[in-house]
Each structure stands twice: as structure tokens, then as C-alpha cells.
Amino acid sequence: MDRTTKAVLKGVGITIAVIAVLVILFNSFYTIKEQEQAVVTTFGVPDTVSEPGLHMKIPFVQKVKKVGTTIKGFAIGYDETTNMAKEDESLMITSDYNFVNVDFYVEYQVSDPVKALYASEEPVKILKNIAQSCIRSVVGQYEVDSVITNGKSEIQLAIKERIVTELSDNEIGIQLINITIQDAEPPTVEVMEAFKAVETAKQGQETAENNAKKYKNEKLPAAEAEADKIVKEAEAAKEARINEAKGQAARFNALYEEYIKFPLITKQRMYYEAMEELLPELKLIIDSSDGSIEKWLPLEGLSEAGTK
């Protein structure tokens, strides 16, 4: 081998050595940016590095995968690019058996880079499936007017709580940041018109109920006062009847005592009193044997005579 060949081989060897050193150096360092974490695998065992900056690794032994930790999101019920509706995702049924189109936007963030990479193949897809399941379950518990009008905040909160629970059970390394209802409306124009008609009817119902309550508040005090008056009059009549009955009972007892003492006189007296009551204008005149005339009716004199 001549001197030229040796020089060439030496140069090639030096070049290879330099390249090898550069490759080793290149594979010995990695950089982590802000809003980013790295998963370093050593002989198949993963570990998380979260501090941003320049880091070292063992070339060809340790492998690094970087995971973004910024908040990301996806739409349910519509296409983010075209803003076109996806009825297979948005169309659902409410508790009062009405159909409604509801669009959501889900925001999430990687909470555990190792689990996000190795616990499942597609953690974001799993999150979307969980979200869709929870959305349909919660919306199905509300009436259509609540979904479209004043129940959105409550529905969002209920859905968020369910998703958080599901993610905790599945441990896919992703956490839910927020879920919001973007839009909610009946699926067709005809249904929209029917919904408006129902809303108008409900407003009319509320007006009628308010008027009824107003009428009630105006009439109830007078009715209560009248009822109180009737009760008091009934109690007074009751007392009067009781007193009258007691008086009649006392009169009967007194008459019975007189009857025991003077049966015949008492009978005659009762007969004359009955006749006076039945025939108040009747006058009875009795001609005595000695020719004197006495007036027996009215019976005041007889009553007085009988009690003597």
C-alpha cells in the first residue's frame, strides 16, 4: 500500500470518527420548550422530564418523546374547519321526547405524559367518546326548553362532572379543562316553529297563572273574612239553640213536676195553651151555672189561676 492510499484511508477514518462523535454528541442532548414535557425511556422504562431547557441523555440507550402540554380542544356536533353540522354527533333526544341539535366544544390538556403516550393508542379519541356518551346521558335528563334556553349552565356542569369522573377511572393521562355548549336548536324549521308556538303558549300560561294569583290575593282576604263571619254566626246560632233547648228542657221538667202534683189541672192548662197557640184569635166564653160569664181565652187568667 502506497503512501497516498494510506493518507486517503487515514482521512476517511478521521472523517468517520468525527461524524461518529458528532452523532453521539447530537444524540446526547435534547431541549424541552415551555408548555412541553419529555418522556425519557431507558431500556423500556419511561420517566417524565418536565423542566424546560437543555438536558442530557445516554445515546442509543435512552429515547425521548416530547409531549405538548398546552390546552387543546375539539368540536362535537360540527366541523371546526367548515363549521358544518354533524347531525350524527349533535342530534339527541330530550326527556320530553323532543329532538334537539346541540354543539359542544371540549378543551383538554395532557396531565400525565407517560400515560398519554402508553396507556392507550388514541387518548384524545377516547376522551371524545367519553364526552359524547356523557353529553347524551345528561341531555336526555332535561326537557327541550331547558336545553335550548335557561338550562345550559346546569347541563354543562353536569356533563363536566361526569367526564372528569370517567377520565379518573380510565387514567389515559388527559384532563378535561372545560366543555361548553356552542349552540342548541331544534333540528328543523318546522320543529323550530312548533317550539316557538309552545314557548308562546307557556308565556300565556304564565300570564294566566299570574292573573289567577293576583285574583286570589285580592279575593282571599274577603273570602276568609266572610268565612270567619259565617263561622261566628253559626257558633252564635249554636249557642242560641243550646240555650233554647236547655230552656225548653227546664220548662218541661217544671211542667212535669206540676203534672205530678195536679194532673187534671195541668192537662187542661196544656190543652188551652195548645188551643191558644193554634187558634190565637179564638175567644172561649163559658157560662157558669150561676149565670155569670167568664172569658177563658186568651188564657192569661187561666195560666195565672193554674199556677196559684
| pLDDT tens per residue, range 66-82 | 898 899 999 999 998 89
The pLDDT of residue 275 is above 90: no
- List, for residues 107-129, the tens digit of each pLDDT value: 999 999 999 999 888 999 999 99
Residue 31 has a pLDDT of 83
Task: Supply the DSSP symbol for 40.
Answer: E
| More confident: 289 or 163 | 163
The pLDDT of residue 276 is above 50: yes
Contact call for residues 118 and 46 (beta carbons, < 8 A): yes
Question: Model-level pTM?
Answer: 0.55
The three cell numbers of residue 60 are 442509543
Residue 107 has a pLDDT of 96
Residue 221 has a pLDDT of 85
Residue 206 has a pLDDT of 85
Backbone angles phi, psi at 129, to 5 degrees: -65, -40
- List, for residues 20-61, the tens digit of each pLDDT value: 666 666 667 778 888 888 888 888 788 887 788 888 787 778
Residue 24 has a pLDDT of 66
The pLDDT of residue 303 is above 50: no
Residue 301 has a pLDDT of 46
Contact call for residues 49 and 82 (beta carbons, < 8 A): no
Contact call for residues 90 and 105 (beta carbons, < 8 A): no
Residue 138 has a pLDDT of 95
* Domain boundaries defined on the chain: 3-67, 72-187, 192-258, 262-307
CA distances from residue 61 to 42, 53, 55, 58, 304 in whole angstroms, order as listed: 6, 21, 15, 5, 140
Q: H/E element holding 15?
A: helix 3-26
- List, for residues 131-142, the tens digit of each pLDDT value: 999 999 999 999
Q: Which of 207, 150, 208, 203 is nearest to 181 (CA)?
A: 150
| More confident: 260 or 113 | 113
The three cell numbers of residue 122 are 388514541
CATH of the structural domain 72-187, one choice from 3.10.200.10, 3.60.20.10, 2.40.33.10, 3.30.479.30? 3.30.479.30
The pLDDT of residue 267 is above 80: no
Q: State in Å, rounded, how far the first CA of the chain is from the last one.
A: 180
- List, for residues 218-252, the tens digit of each pLDDT value: 888 888 888 888 999 899 898 888 988 888 888 88
Q: What is the mean pLDDT of the chain?
A: 81
Residue 261 has a pLDDT of 79
